[in-house]
Amino acid sequence: MEGNTVIFSCNVTGNPVPTISWTKKRHPVNTTINSRISFLADKKLLTITNVNRVDSGEYRCVASNILGHDTSNVATLNVQCK
């Protein structure tokens, strides 16, 4: 529902330890443009506060290290109006 907080979680392991990034509709999630979005726990958590329809879409977690990268399945956020 609009106004709620949403948290996406990404459980990643690897050697060397991978770095995590997030995409929405295949574009990088940018926290500097949207202050309602933040990363926690070395980017393993993506938090969106006060969600609205603009936040709806397909989110993915991307884990990368020197050996390559892997992308999670899609997590679809569908924000409903109050």
Task: Summarize pLDDT for 56-79 with one digit per residue, the tens.
Answer: 999 999 999 999 999 999 999 999
What's residue 39's pLDDT?
Answer: 95
DSSP 3-state of 54: helix
Beta carbons of 10 and 61 less than 8 angstroms apart: yes
Q: 30 falls in which pLDDT band (50, 70, 90)?
A: confident
Cα-only R_g, the chain: 13
Task: Output the CA torsion 70→72→74→79 (10° steps).
Answer: -120
Whether 82 shows a pLDDT value over 80: the answer reads: no
What's the pTM?
Answer: 0.91
The total number of residues shown for the chain amounts to: 82
Beta carbons of 49 and 36 less than 8 angstroms apart: yes
